[in-house]
Structure formats: C-alpha cells, structure tokens
A = this chain, B = another copy of it.
C-alpha cells in the first residue's frame, strides 16, 4: 500500500489551473523581466484584492530570497532587522540577511510570535541605553503570518505592532510564505488588514498552489523606488518574468488562492480533530495547516512505516513532537487513511 506524505506543503507541483495556463500561453512572445501583460494583470488583481491602488507589487521566486531582498530594501547600511528567535530569517536561511551585511536582532518568541509588549519594551530599553550609539539600531521588524509554529497574529496585535514600528521609525515587514493558509484559518485578520497594518508583506505562492513564486507588496512606491534594480542585484529578477506572472494571475482569478487554501485548512482541521478523537495531545495549538502532535516514541516508529511526517523536537526521552502538514494538494482520502492508521 502506498505511503502517505504529510511532511510539508511543497511536495507537489502546482494547481492544475496554473499548468493549464502555462500550456495555453507557452508560445506567446512577451517582454522579459516582469514587464509582460501577465505580470501586469497579476499585480493589478493583487492591488484590487487589497484595495490599495498605490501598492507596489513585485513577483519574486522564493521565500528566503524575498526576505533578504525586501529587508535589504528597507534598511540603511548600519541598521538591523528585529525578529523573534524562532523567526525563519533568524535560524533557517543560512545567513541570507547577513549576506547583505545586516544583523538579525532577536527577542524571545511567544508562541512563535513577536509580542507587541516585548517589542515596545525593546525599543524603550534601546532608547534608554546610554551606549546605544555603539549598537545596531532596528530599522525594520520581521514577522511571519502564519508563524513557523503555525500560529496567527490577531488583528489587534498586527495593529499594535504597526503602531509601535511607526512610532520608532521602523518598517513592519510580514513574511506571508503561508499567508493563504493563515487567511483561510479561524482568524479576524483579512488580506486587507495585512496590507493595512504592514509596510510591506508577501503573498506566498510556493506553498499555496504555485510551482514557485512570492508576491511582494509594498504599501507604496516611495518605500523603495528602485526595488527592480535591487531584485536584479539579489538574483531575484527572472528573465521570463511571465512565469510567476501567469501563476499569480491564475491564483488571483476565480478565488483560486483562497479556495485552495481553504481546502488545506479544512483537511488540517479534520486531521487535528481525528488526532484529538484518539486522545493524542496537541503539542502546540495551531489553527493553520501545520499540526504539532505529541507522540510516544514506540508509536512514532510504527507510524513511520506507513506515513511520512516531520520530526519537530524531542519532548522527553519517551515522547517526540512531530508535525503533519496539509496543503492545497492534500487528498481527503489520505487524511482519512491517516486517521485510521493512528
């Protein structure tokens, strides 16, 4: 019997609508570097979706690249970016931010999040520190939504973070690698809220239906008028810019982006309910497409034979936290089979 895979949300290709569109348009001749009509259409649809005609949209290739390029666009040479210690840029991007000579300054996470009160205090202590001219000032704050732990900010938290940033002359940047799953989950945060309470964010395509691609959205063009040049400099400018263009144009047509995201969340919820029903303990509460389960090691070893999932962390000598991830491509029958097996 075929093995089940719940390791991550980047194990398959793209939603069929994207592949179809790639085929239909394959021999059309378009301008390079994102100046084609598909990229233009995608950008227009995104500006409409967030109800901000001033928004400046760019289509990049991947998450680490987007993080590094955006952060480089926001900071002065001597500034750093603040993240919580579980932030992706702080741990799992092999120093991509430092590659642009910027320090990642960390504060402890609270359920994967930067807490507004902690952030406020950080700025206050920095200001109060007599030696702060010998230290790296924070020019931008990085958050991810959903976070690396699958958690979500509330609308009030986003609003607070944004206000604290504005008061302290720092940009707020939201990494939305899994944004669709965040918006489709139980939340009071809409896409328009994300656009409103940040200076720049991105809409993840790689993990939400595309072959690859992240749509970076600046609140306005003044934040970085030369972002195109900066993309080139960071190796983030595709010659065939139409490829992400076609993908985002498709994702933002016919409600595709949210439709597929809702599918993943529905199955994630079913998966969580199934584990709970069998008395598994949820290690971290996550309303999105990543579910963290506490499991006995002997049980885990047995499960491994039939199901592929992610090791998350050692809990104690007999228990482990493991992660199950659903995606736009997950089949309900696979979730059902998993729930039978456990």
Bound Cα distance from A41 to B95, whole angstroms: 30
Return the contact of A95 from the options B7, B23, B228, B233 (Cβ within 8 A): B233
A226: interface (CB < 8 Å)? yes
- Evaluate contact between A329 and B27: CB separation under 8 angstroms: yes
Q: Shortest distance in angstroms between A24's beta carbon and chain B's nearest beta carbon?
A: 10
User: Which residues of the partner chain B approach A96 to less than 8 Å between Cβ atoms?
Assistant: 232-235
In the assembly, what is the distance between CA of A104 and CA of B106, in Å? Answer: 12
Q: Which residues of B contact A14 (CB under 8 A)?
A: 22, 26
Q: For the complex formed, measure the closest distance between the CB of A37 and the CB atoms of chain B, giving whole angstroms.
A: 13
Q: How many subunits of this chain does the assembly comprise?
A: 4
Q: How far is the CA of A24 from the CA of B14 in the complex (A)?
A: 12
The answer, yes or no, to whether A108 is at the interface (CB within 8 Å) is no
**Which residues of B lie under 8 Å from residue A259 when comparing CB positions?**
none
A residues 1-37 in Cβ contact with B at 8 Å: 5, 7-8, 10-14, 16, 19, 22-23, 25-32
Q: Are the CB atoms of B28 and A12 closer together than 8 Å? A: yes
- Is A64 close to B, CB under 8 A? yes
CB distance from A107 to the nearest CB of B (A): 12
Interface residues on A, range: 35 or more
Residues on B with C-beta less than 8 A from A184 are none
Which stretch, A74-82, A188-196, A276-284, A316-324, touches the partner chain B? A74-82
- Among A50-58, A133-141, A158-166, the one that faces the other chain is A133-141
**Proximity bits, A224-249, B CB within 8 Å = 1, else 0:** 00101110111111111011000000
- Which of A29, A206, A230, A238 has most B Cβ within 10 Å? A29
Instruction: Give, as a whole number of angstroms, the nearest-CB distance from A211 to chain B.
Output: 5
CB atoms of B13 and A233 under 8 A apart: no
Complex interface: chain B residues within 8 A of A94 (CB)? 78, 133-136, 229-230, 232-233
Does the CB pair A206–B100 fall under 8 Å?
A: no
**Are A234 and B131 in contact (CB-based, < 8 A)?**
no
The one of B28, B226, B232, B243 that contacts A211, using a Cβ cutoff of 8 Å = B243
A77 to B96, CA, bound (A): 11
Q: Indicate whether A103 sits within 8 Å of B104 (C-beta atoms), given known contacts A64-B237, A239-B62.
A: yes
Cα distance A181–B244 in the bound complex, in angstroms: 26
Instruction: Return the 4 tightest CB-CB contacts between A and B, nearest first.
Output: A65-B235, A13-B26, A94-B232, A94-B233
Known contacts A62-B237, A77-B230, A94-B233; 6 additional CB pairs below 8 A are A11-B30, A12-B28, A61-B235, A75-B77, A78-B233, A93-B232
